[in-house]
Structure 1
Amino acid sequence: MVIKGVVPNDFTYTVVIISLVKEGLHEDAFKTFDEMKNNGFVPEELTYNMLINLNAKNGNRDEVQRLYEDMRFRRVAPSNYTCATLISLYYKYEDYPRVLSLFKEMARNKIPADEVIYGLLIRVYGKLGLYEDACKTFEKIKHQGLLTNEKTYLAMAQVHLTSGNVDKALEVIGLMKSKNIWFSRFAYIVLLQCYVTKENVVATEGTFLALCKTGLPDAGSCNDVLNLYVRLNLMDKANEFIVRIRDNGTHFDEELYRTVMKICCKEGMLLEAKHLTNQM
């Protein structure tokens, strides 16, 4: 890359690569990146981050890993942002051992973790059944004053819920509410799961109504409510609920459809079953 006879330096290469990425000329950006290294220049952390993030968005895991390893080889210190991008990618593809390995590497290199990274770590601990580690991490960030995001609270609530400790899950959601953190649609879904597990019909119905105010209910929540009614033999409520979600245009996934058809056949709701089958 020679512009008007001027030999580029590391700053020039960096500016060009950033410009190419912003213009969507990704192939040219990578060619310029390779040229930069071949000419003896060491890319900055910013340049690596931009290319790592670009590949992460496209799901190019091997290329992300190659860039990260090249970064380390050239002694370019990764930042919190670099690690967050990698951890998010590893989590997305359920590569949990790599998440834990990178987190340990961050600790060794004294790279500070933020709430996003800690939140993903809590989820990973939950997936691996490391309940105590998830709890310790949550308490750690709470004491550090990093606990501000709804996603972190809900991650911990889900870990409690999965481990069978519903009261603890509700305690975490209650703590989130006490901090005046806005309840998203997902928060109502998690709260609904808690009340269904506790078999609290009144609280379940109230939470479902709150969920409906955010838009059409999701199939999973509808299935949870129906299974609660069946479990408690509240078949009149189950039948009314089926008619309601059918009429309001709720999307039925395979599991919800199966649950509804089972109830309809058991209760002799053949017309409802036929009507629902025609809609699917």
Structure 2
Amino acid sequence: MSISVQGWRQPRLLLLMLPAGIVLTAFLLVPLVQLAIAGAQGPDGAAAYLSILTNPRHLSVTIATLALAITVTATALAVATVAGLFLARHSFAGRSVLIAMLTFPLAFPGVVVGFLVIMLGGRQGLVATISKALTGDKLVFAYSAAGLFIGYLYFSIPRVILTVMAAAETLDPALAEAARSLGARPLRVLRDVVLPALAPGLIASGAICFATAMGAFGTAFALATDIDVLAMTIYTEFTLQANIAGAAALSLVLGLITWVSLFAARSLGGRASAAGGG
């Protein structure tokens, strides 16, 4: 009887997995294979995949994109951790409204975020108007690395805040109280008790922030006039240069970078959770 039940379960599981397998094959594996083939069909052949290191422009764009993504991720983690811990530990009038406003940017697409940055730091933006009135010169930053940084930070912070709040609400307050009763100062409690407990969530949300900042296109398309990032380079190679092979190769390299970051975060998050007893 047990053999027949076991024999029935396996075909049933395969049948249940069939729709997911079809979608995965049709919309991920097949396009990826086509992309890989296209990337190797240019004049440089498979060497096109190394252009991110051998082509000076591609290398500088990659370094700029990595620097921007790392800076955005670090800043988002720092700001959102403080805000998330505060919101998780304190109740006050208007708290729900504040949380809703802080997470509101998640509803905006990248182009809208870029437009908001232009309204803030563009040539006719709020900062330019105020600086013109005060100093006689317009302060414009929307179309530079600073504008991209603010735009990416705008939709990165809400993700981390939600993660930190969810993790902080599961944190046992008795652990922090025990550390304080033993004479630990607030910073040491934060370093030795709170942050290790939040580490898996921080690593996961940080990886998502990094991957998003590496590949975000809408905001970059709206703002990137004085700075180039990988997503914009892929777009210009494909549309303006008609370099399909180069665009395909850069796309796969960009995808590999983000995949490695997510894989590493998953591994580190699992180790942090095990070390913390989770």
| TM-score, with length taken from structure 1 | 0.18
Larger Rg: 1
Structure with the larger helix share: 2
**Structure ranking higher on relative contact order (CA contacts 8 Å, 6+ apart):** 2
| TM-score, with length taken from structure 2 | 0.18
